[in-house]
Amino acid sequence: MAASMVEQGEDAFRKLFKFYKRRNPPPDFSDVIDFSKKAGNELVYAAELKHGSVSEEAAFRAGLQPVKEWRAFGLHGYPGFLFISNPFLPGSQHYWVKQCLKTYTQKPNVCNLDMHMSPAETENIWEKSVGSFRKKGQREPRTLLEKLRWVTLGYHYNWDTKTYSPDHYTPFPEDLHSLSHKVAAACGFPGFKAEAGILNYYRSDSSLGIHVDESELDHTRPLLSFSFGQTAVFLLGGTKRQDPPTAMFMRSGDIMVMSGSSRLLYHAVPCIVPAPAGHPLPSCLEQHVDKDELNDGIIQTVCEKDWEVCSTYLQTSRINMTVRQVLGPGQSFPVTHSQTVTVKEQSRSGYEEETQMAKKRKSETGYDLDS
Ligand code: SIN
């Protein structure tokens, strides 16, 4: 059904985007590549990783399985694209979810709520939201956590100018740098420097429009993408906006790497897939870390109280962390790029190119501020 829609044409990508975004009747997902399944797809092949590049101990300390155990795939027709099917150790995704909700939402990081709320109002988003999450059965007006759409780290992306600036930088989180460095090394990119991060928070009706991530100044470095929580459909297109895309599921724990000639491909997230009845959380998130095992690693155990909030949030949400190296070795920002970012009303829809469609996109991307 969906495959028959994938034909070269002016809006082949947009057609498929709308197909998967549709709610009523729900789309047929049978053409979506599922890397978690053994049954093969003609486009998929097993990819070789650099097993020796990350020691078992270093992987363990980052909450990852030994690299030799990772299930990594490439896609014919997409050189440089890699998909790693949940390489996290049982229970260790909890830490990254907690970081995305409790730690990375803190100042000096920037989030969509800063665009229309005062600094005092957007301080301690976690603390201001957890009370409502912990009250079982009663739903109050939406919490700040539920209104959160994006957070930026390191070089803070400016959605209006689509640039990074040396004038708007705060230290990139050490733990996420360390995880990214290891994943990149395993994929053949030693020395990766995590310099900018965009965290996307998807509710069950969110989507992310068709775009390319090209603002980084060095495109020889990969883009890493980590997914947690509900499953999404990801569309990977070509170098032209209208090229027909390939659809694949992104499940909790999956890591995607865009590098080489796949680094600048159009992509989008048309929908979050409804959780199967009776299973509000993916089973990999039901596993817990053995507390004693995580003494001096990068990741720490998440206390039950915090996980209760995270898991309630994830029953209707997906979190994606994309990590980028902005500058190549020895590279610096051109002088003209140096600009002070003024925090003003910006919308995530700046990510897409057709500004005249902003209103329509609001429902598509879910990233315009609607609160
Ligand atoms: C992005 O392209 O910025 C995010 C993709 C995703 O959420 O998987």
- Mean pLDDT of successive 10-residue segments in the chain (371 residues)? 51 95 95 89 94 95 96 97 97 97 97 96 96 73 93 96 95 98 98 98 97 95 98 97 96 98 97 95 87 72 95 97 96 69 36 34 36 25
What is the atom index within ligand 1 of the atom nearest the CA of 250? 8
Identify any residues that bridge with 208 across adjacent strands, giving them in sequence order: 269
201 lines ligand 1 (CB under 6 A): no
207 lines ligand 1 (CB under 6 A): no
**Stated pTM of the model:** 0.89
The residue among 347, 344, 352 whose CA lies nearest residue 369 is 347
pLDDT value at residue 137: 62
pLDDT value at residue 365: 38
Q: Is 208 helix (H, G, I), strand (E, B) or coil?
A: strand
What is the atom index within ligand 1 of the atom nearest the CA of 198? 3
Instruction: Read off the tokens for 119.
Output: 């600094």
180 lines ligand 1 (CB under 6 A): no
Q: Residues 6 or more apart from 292 whose CB is under 8 A from it?
A: none
pLDDT value at residue 222: 98
The residue among 366, 301, 280, 248 whose CA lies nearest residue 97 is 301
What is the atom index within ligand 1 of the atom nearest the CA of 267? 2
d(CA 256, CA 227): 9
d(CA 208, CA 150): 11
The answer to whether the CB of 85 falls within 8 A of the CB of 254 is: yes
The residue among 163, 111, 183, 134 whose CA lies nearest residue 369 is 111
The answer to whether the CB of 266 falls within 8 A of the CB of 13 is: yes
C-alpha pair distances (Å), 82 with each of 97, 196, 217, 241 = 22, 20, 22, 21
Substitution site in 322, 351, 367 for ligand 1 pocket (most atoms within 8 Å of beta carbon) = 322
271 lines ligand 1 (CB under 6 A): no
Instruction: Read off the tokens for 52.
Output: 């020796």
349 lines ligand 1 (CB under 6 A): no
Residue recorded with tokens 């694209």: 81
Return the percent helix, strand and coil in the chain, to nearest 5: 30, 20, 50
What is the atom index within ligand 1 of the atom nearest the CA of 318? 7
Residue 136 Cα to ligand 1 midpoint, Å, equals: 31
Identify any residues that bridge with 236 across adjacent strands, giving them in sequence order: 246, 267
pLDDT value at residue 124: 95
250 lines ligand 1 (CB under 6 A): yes
The answer to whether the CB of 347 falls within 8 A of the CB of 368 is: yes
The residue among 224, 207, 128 whose CA lies nearest residue 365 is 207
The answer to whether the CB of 232 falls within 8 A of the CB of 250 is: yes
d(CA 181, CA 62): 10
pLDDT value at residue 370: 29
Residue 227 Cα to ligand 1 midpoint, Å, equals: 9
Nearest CA to ligand 1 atom 1: 322
Residue 138 Cα to ligand 1 midpoint, Å, equals: 32
d(CA 76, CA 82): 11
234 lines ligand 1 (CB under 6 A): yes
6 lines ligand 1 (CB under 6 A): no
The answer to whether the CB of 245 falls within 8 A of the CB of 16 is: yes
Q: Which alpha helices (DSSP H) does the chain contain, by range?
A: 2-5, 12-21, 56-61, 93-98, 125-134, 144-147, 174-186, 304-314, 358-365
d(CA 71, CA 73): 7
Instruction: Read off the tokens for 41.
Output: 């797809």
